[in-house]
Structure 1
Amino acid sequence: MNVKKNASLLVMLTTIASMVAACTPGGGGSAPVETKQPTAAGATPTPSSNKNVELRMMWWGSQARHDATLKVIDLFEKKNPNIKINGEYMGSDGYFDKLNTQVAGGNAPDLIQLGNNYPDYVSRSALLDINPYMGKEINVDNFDKGNIESGAMDGKQYGIILGSNAFGIAYNTELIKKAGLQPPTGKWTWEEFGKYAQDLTKALGKGYYGAVDESRFPLYLNYFARQTNKTLYKDGKAGLGKEEIANWFTLWDNYRKAGSTPPAEVTAAYTEAPENSSFVEGKTAMHLIWSNQITAYQKLMKDEINVVLPPTGGSAQGLWLQPSQFMTINAKSKNPKEAAMFISFMVNDPEATMILGSERGVPGSSKARDALKASATPVDKKVYDYIDIASKNSRVPDREIPNGKEFETTLINMSQKVGFAKETIANAAQEVFAAAEKAIGKK
Structure 2
Amino acid sequence: MFTIRARQRMLAAAALTGAAVLALSGCASGGGEASAYDPDEEVTLTFTWWGNDDRAQRYQQLIDAFEEEHPNITIEGNFTDFPSYWEKRKTEAAGGGLPDVWQFSDSYLREYAEPGLLLDLDEVSDYIDFDAFDDSLKQTGQLDDVQYSLPTGYSAWAVFLNDGLLADAGIEPYEGGTSYEEYTEWMASVTEATGGAIFGGTDLTQRIQNFENVLRAKGENLYTADGELGFTEDDLRDFWESGAAARDGIAVPQQRLEELSPKSGFGANLTASEASWSNFLGGYLADSGAESVTLVAPPTDEPGSKDLYRQAGLQVAISAGTEHPEAAAMWLDFVVNSEQAGEIFGTTLGFPASETKLAGTKLEGVDKQVADYLDSVADRIGEAPPVPVVGYGSLEQTFWDLGKSIGLGALSVDDAVDQFFAEAQVILG
Q: Is TM more than 0.5 here? A: yes
Structure 1 partner of 2:173: 183
- Identity %, equivalent residues: 26
Q: Render the CA deviation track for 1:54-75: whole Å, top value 9, x for unaligned.
A: 2111111121111111221121
Determine whether 1:295 maps to 2:295.
no
Cα distance in structure 2, aligned partners of 1:64 and 1:324:
19
Q: CA deviation at 1:250?
A: 0.9
Q: Partner amino acid for 2:377?
A: A
Cα distance in structure 2, aligned partners of 1:195 and 1:221:
19
Q: CA deviation at 1:155?
A: 2.0
Determine whether 1:83 maps to 2:73.
yes
Structure 1 partner of 2:346: 357
In structure 2, relative to structure 1, the CA distance for the partners of 1:291 and 1:44 (3 Å cut) is farther
Determine whether 1:193 maps to 2:186.
no
TM-score, with length taken from structure 2: 0.86
Q: Render the CA deviation track for 1:41-87: whole Å, top value 9, x for unaligned.
A: 98776622422222111111121111111221121111112212211
Structure 2 partner of 1:243: 234
Q: Partner amino acid for 2:145?
A: G
Determine whether 1:396 maps to 2:383.
yes
Query: Does the CA-based 8 Å contact 1:213-1:267 persist in structure 2?
Result: no
Which sits farther off after the overlay, 302-311 or 316-325? 316-325
Q: Render the CA deviation track for 1:381-407: whole Å, top value 9, x for unaligned.
A: 111111222333111122334213432
Q: Structure 2: where are the runs of 5+ without partners?
A: 13-37
Q: CA deviation at 1:40?
A: 6.0
Q: Render the CA deviation track for 1:264-284: whole Å, top value 9, x for unaligned.
A: 32243344x5xx122122221
Which sits farther off after the overlay, 173-182 or 52-61? 173-182
Q: Partner amino acid for 2:70?
A: N
In structure 2, relative to structure 1, the CA distance for the partners of 1:147 and 1:62 (3 Å cut) is same
Q: Render the CA deviation track for 1:189-217: whole Å, top value 9, x for unaligned.
A: 00110111111111122322111123322
Q: Secondary structure at the match of 1:192?
A: helix
Q: Secondary structure at the match of 1:210?
A: coil
Select the structure of larger CA radius of gyration.
Answer: 1
Structure 2 partner of 1:341: 330
Q: Secondary structure at the match of 1:268?
A: helix
In structure 2, relative to structure 1, the CA distance for the partners of 1:55 and 1:103 (3 Å cut) is same
Q: Secondary structure at the match of 1:81?
A: coil
Structure 1 partner of 2:425: 437
Cα distance in structure 2, aligned partners of 1:292 and 1:166:
8
Pairs within 5 Å for 1:135-284: 136-234=126-224, 235-257=226-248, 259-271=249-261, 276-284=263-271
Query: Does the CA-based 8 Å contact 2:337-2:355 persist in structure 1?
Result: no
Structure 1 partner of 2:320: 331
Query: Does the CA-based 8 Å contact 1:55-1:84 persist in structure 2?
Result: yes
Q: CA deviation at 1:291?
A: 1.3
Cα distance in structure 2, aligned partners of 1:137 and 1:121:
22
Which sits farther off after the overlay, 47-56 or 322-331? 47-56
In structure 2, relative to structure 1, the CA distance for the partners of 1:303 and 1:256 (3 Å cut) is farther
In structure 2, relative to structure 1, the CA distance for the partners of 1:380 and 1:396 (3 Å cut) is same
Q: CA deviation at 1:357?
A: 1.8
Structure 2 partner of 1:412: 400
In structure 2, relative to structure 1, the CA distance for the partners of 1:45 and 1:69 (3 Å cut) is farther
Q: CA deviation at 1:370?
A: 4.0
Cα distance in structure 2, aligned partners of 1:410 and 1:143:
33
Cα distance in structure 2, aligned partners of 1:295 and 1:419:
28
Q: CA deviation at 1:39?
A: 5.0
Q: CA deviation at 1:241?
A: 0.8
Structure 2 partner of 1:305: 293
Q: CA deviation at 1:137?
A: 0.7
Cα distance in structure 2, aligned partners of 1:330 and 1:249:
38
Pairs within 5 Å for 1:50-61: 50=39, 51-61=41-51
Cα distance in structure 2, aligned partners of 1:407 and 1:345:
32
Structure 2 partner of 1:31: none
Query: Does the CA-based 8 Å contact 2:260-2:268 persist in structure 1?
Result: no
Q: CA deviation at 1:287?
A: 0.6
In structure 2, relative to structure 1, the CA distance for the partners of 1:260 and 1:85 (3 Å cut) is same
Cα distance in structure 1, aligned partners of 2:256 and 2:351:
33
Query: Does the CA-based 8 Å contact 2:154-2:313 persist in structure 1?
Result: yes
In structure 2, relative to structure 1, the CA distance for the partners of 1:187 and 1:410 (3 Å cut) is closer
**Alignment partner for residue 319 of structure 1, among 308, 315, 331?**
308
In structure 2, relative to structure 1, the CA distance for the partners of 1:321 and 1:39 (3 Å cut) is closer
Query: Does the CA-based 8 Å contact 2:191-2:198 persist in structure 1?
Result: yes
Q: Secondary structure at the match of 1:75?
A: helix
Cα distance in structure 2, aligned partners of 1:103 and 1:435:
21
Cα distance in structure 1, aligned partners of 2:55 and 2:328:
20
Cα distance in structure 1, aligned partners of 2:340 and 2:415:
53
Cα distance in structure 1, aligned partners of 2:99 and 2:356:
29
Q: What number of residue pairs does the alignment pair up?
A: 397
Cα distance in structure 1, aligned partners of 2:101 and 2:410:
42
Q: CA deviation at 1:154?
A: 1.0
Q: Partner amino acid for 1:333?
A: T
TM-score, with length taken from structure 1: 0.84
Q: Partner amino acid for 2:407?
A: G
Cα distance in structure 2, aligned partners of 1:352 and 1:187:
33
Structure 2 partner of 1:26: none
**Alignment partner for residue 428 of structure 1, among 410, 416, 420?**
416
Query: Does the CA-based 8 Å contact 1:245-1:433 persist in structure 2?
Result: no
CA RMSD of aligned residues (A): 2.2
Query: Does the CA-based 8 Å contact 1:39-1:45 persist in structure 2?
Result: no
Q: Render the CA deviation track for 1:127-176: whole Å, top value 9, x for unaligned.
A: 01111322x21012222111222211112110111111112110111222
Q: Partner amino acid for 1:216?
A: Q
Q: Partner amino acid for 1:396?
A: E
